[in-house]
Structure 1
Amino acid sequence: MSKWTEADIPEQNGRVAVVTGANTGIGFETARALAEHGATVVLACRSREKAEAAADRIIQNTPSAAIETAQLDLNSLESISGAAEAIRGRHDRIDLLINNAGVTGLSGVTEDGFEVQFGINHLGHFALTGLLLDRIAAAPAARIVTVSSIGHRFGRIDPDNPAAPTGNAYAKSKLANLLFTYELDDRLAHTAAIAIAAHPGGASTEVFRYSPAAFRLPNLAIAHLFGRTPAMGALPTLRAATDPHATGSQYYGPAGLFEIQGYPAPVKSSTHSHDRKRQAALWEVSEKLTDIHYLG
């Protein structure tokens, strides 16, 4: 299947999908496509107003779409807990959790004192996934899809101190997304759920909006050069979430040059991302920092 597109998404009727950062960019396109194929989609976003505006945009295009919103600020463990409680109150099961939201170019710490990119991109999704895991395990064939980046290849995590600041904070957070995915999939072996990762290639999204110009402008230029719209950037996530042939611990990205452009296919991640010692160490420190302890 060399050119997997939205037309290849199977019907999603009866499935419940939670998409973080769904008000814009890749998250919005992911939510839109899932809703158009029949899923009930929860737009989990920091701004309730922006989430509701995104919901209106989807419904205008697809009046039959089943859209809900949840206020989720991955900068705050308190907000994550509240969002998870609200989602759990509405749904007995969750078929798809799309850990999409992310930031880059920020400095400082989260409300809970974590380096902000590591805190939002990794620890926030680690906490949310753990708080929803019983609902995910209750679904017959659930998937947890976490969005990483080509940039994970520049990330480094000290297995003896995974939370320590090391080099490129964004790249580290994206490496953490993959270490988390592979460890999670292993831990889900006793359930029907699987964990998969994806990356969008060189897509033009708002993830760069807070980045310094020296970082933001070249990335946007690459996206423009290769025609990577948010809709194209969402395809690897959508394939990971819906392709009947996808399996746990796979990693989807564009199949073209340097994984910047092209249609989604299984791709390889860095050697560091498959390091079992780093996976286990990151998991342990993530549980300690978030005080979220998974089932099993």
Structure 2
Amino acid sequence: MFGFGEPTYDPVKDIPDLTGKVAIVTGANSGIGYQTAQQLVNHGAKVYLAGRNESKVLVAIEQMQKENQTLRGKNMANFLHLDLSEPKGVKAAADAFMAKESRLDILVNNAAAMNMGHFILDIGLTDTMMSNYIGPWIFTTSLLPLMKKTAADPLADVRIVNVASQVHSIVPVDAKLDSVDDLNQAFAEGAATAGLLVRLKRYGLEKLCEILFTTELQRRLDEESVPITCISLHPGMLATGAMKEWWIYYLLKVFGDTPLQAAKCSLFAATSPVVKEKRDEYKGKFLMPVDKITPPLCPQGRDEELAKRLWLLTETVVNNIFEKGVAQ
């Protein structure tokens, strides 16, 4: 198998009782996100499946209820409208959630996008940088007040899990993240922007941003003495729809992880008692499946000063978008 799933970790058996906890999983209508949400629900958490296509999410919820009849009529799995490509909509989704719930224990930023070309939105950012990094940044920081309130309970165990990728390892060593142009870098020109390698480099850059975001968010929370645990990770190897045009999709269909196997790292990061027991070891770290604390795989990912600069750049970009309608 190409998957990295640790055979001794079994989410079905090893996830503790989550009764009373509230969670959000983005991109949860299929694949890793669906399995993550399903296991959280099955172990007692109230889970919001966040996505932009309500009909697909409702189908996913119906499937969960078919597979676990005890869920019917309990509102344990719920739809939350979230379109990560629209900044104001992202903020509205967070506000809508906070209007419904008085706590948030687990946030799993799982959703991801990879498009053919290099498309700049009207706000001045590429569509995938918006969906894969800026959108999750807005969503997470908008939810932080409620997560901090939840974490104030001495019995709480609040976690933010950012599903990144080992693809960040192919980001060129000279790639920078100090300006909007750096966020939008294409790594190619013209028709070549649709090439497999440059698309992977852009995806890797976006996932690198998520890793750096995790690092700096943890530093800031620690500075405030807020006991929220932030973890970024590479999930298992799963054939997804975004890969269908590539030969590796068919290879992974045969030899890769099942969706549940691929979700093990996310579930470990979100729920394992080991993370709570050894919080100082896990907080702010990058995991390879299932529980392997690993230094980020490119030099930029290990640069704490870059993480600080990226946070400040992101704040400026987001403020500009909300105030002026454009990133710069």
Q: Would you say same fold, with TM above 0.5?
A: yes
* Normalised-by-shorter TM-score class: 0.7 to 0.9
CA distance in 2, matches of 1:11, 1:31: 14
Tell me the percent identity: 29
SS in 2 for 1:88: helix
Whole-angstrom CA distance in 1 between matches of 2:8 and 2:292: 9
Cα distance in 2 for partners of 1:111, 1:8 equals 46
Q: Classify the secondary structure of the residue corresponding to 2:70.
A: coil
3-state DSSP of counterpart to 2:274: coil
Task: Choose from 72, 77, 84 the match for 1:67.
Answer: 77
2:264 alignment counterpart: 235
Contact 2:286 2:295 (C-alpha < 8 Å) held by counterparts: yes
Structure 2 gap ranges (5+): 1-5, 151-155, 188-200, 276-281, 321-328
Paired letter, 2:309: A
Equivalent residue for 1:291?
A: 319
SS of the aligned residue for 2:59 comes to helix
Matches within 5 A, 1:126-165: 126-139=137-150, 140-156=156-172, 157-161=175-179, 162-165=182-185
Q: Select between 59-68 and 29-38 the one with higher mean Cα deviation.
A: 59-68
Which of these two proteins has the greater Rg computed from alpha carbons? 2
**TM-score normalized with structure 1 length:** 0.88
Amino acid at match of 1:160: D
Deviations 1:161-188 (A, max 9, x none): 3424153211100111101111111111
Kindly indicate whether residue 102 of structure 2 is the aligned counterpart of residue 92 of structure 1: yes
| Offset, 1:264 | 4.6
Residues 1:224 and 2:224 are matched in the alignment? no
Structure 1 Cα separation of the partners of residues 243 and 209 of structure 2: 19
Any conservation in 1 of the 2:177–2:183 contact (CA below 8 Å)?
no
TM-score (norm 2): 0.80
2:236–2:264 Cα contact (<8 Å) kept: no
Take 1:75 and 1:197, find their aligned partners in 2: how far apart are those partners?
A: 21
Partner SS state of residue 232, structure 2: strand
Q: Does 1:277 align with 2:277?
A: no
Note if contact 1:16-1:94 (Cα within 8 Å) is conserved in structure 2.
Answer: yes
Which shows bigger deviation, 35-44 or 138-147? 138-147
1:97 Cα shift?
0.5
Matched-pair contact (CA < 8 Å) for 1:106–1:117: no
Q: Label 1:112 to 1:160 Cα distance change in 2 as closer, same or farther (>3 A).
A: closer
**Other-structure match for 1:5:** 10
Opposite residue 226 of structure 1, the aligned amino acid is: F
Do 1:106 and 1:116's aligned partners in 2 also have CA atoms closer than 8 Å? Answer: no
Could you list the per-position Cα deviations for residues 222-260 of structure 1 after superposition, in whole angstroms to 9, with x for gaps in the alignment? 423433122111110000001122231122223xxxxxx
- Measured against aligned partners, the alpha-carbon deviations of 1:73-124 in whole angstroms (never above 9, x if no partner) come to 0010121122111111111110000000001134313453311221110000
Aligned to 1:187: 220
| Cα distance in 1 for residues equivalent to 2:14 and 2:208 | 29
In structure 1, what is the equivalent of residue 210 of structure 2? 177
Aligned residues: 278
In the alignment, is the contact (CA less than 8 A) between 1:22 and 1:45 conserved in 2? Answer: yes
Structure 1: runs of 5 or more not aligned: 255-262
Residues 44, 71 of structure 1: 8 Å contact kept: yes
Distance across 2 between alignment mates of 1:106 and 1:137: 38
Which of 1 and 2 has higher RCO (CA within 8 Å, sep 6+)? 2
In 1, Cα distance between equivalents of 2:241 and 2:21: 28
Contact 1:21 1:44 (C-alpha < 8 Å) held by counterparts: yes
Conservation of the 8 A alpha-carbon contact between 1:179 and 1:282: yes
Higher helix share: 2
2:304 and 2:115 mapped to 1: Cα distance? 29
**Following the alignment from structure 2 to structure 1, what is the Cα–Cα distance between the partners of residues 166 and 41?**
27
Aligned residue in 2 for 1:117: 128
SS at match of 1:291: helix
Counterpart CA distance in 1 for 2:177 and 2:206 is 14
Give SS of 2:183's match. Answer: coil
Q: Distance in 1 between matches of 2:164 and 2:114?
A: 12
Give SS of 1:151's match.
helix
Aligned pair partner of 1:40 in 16, 27, 46: 46
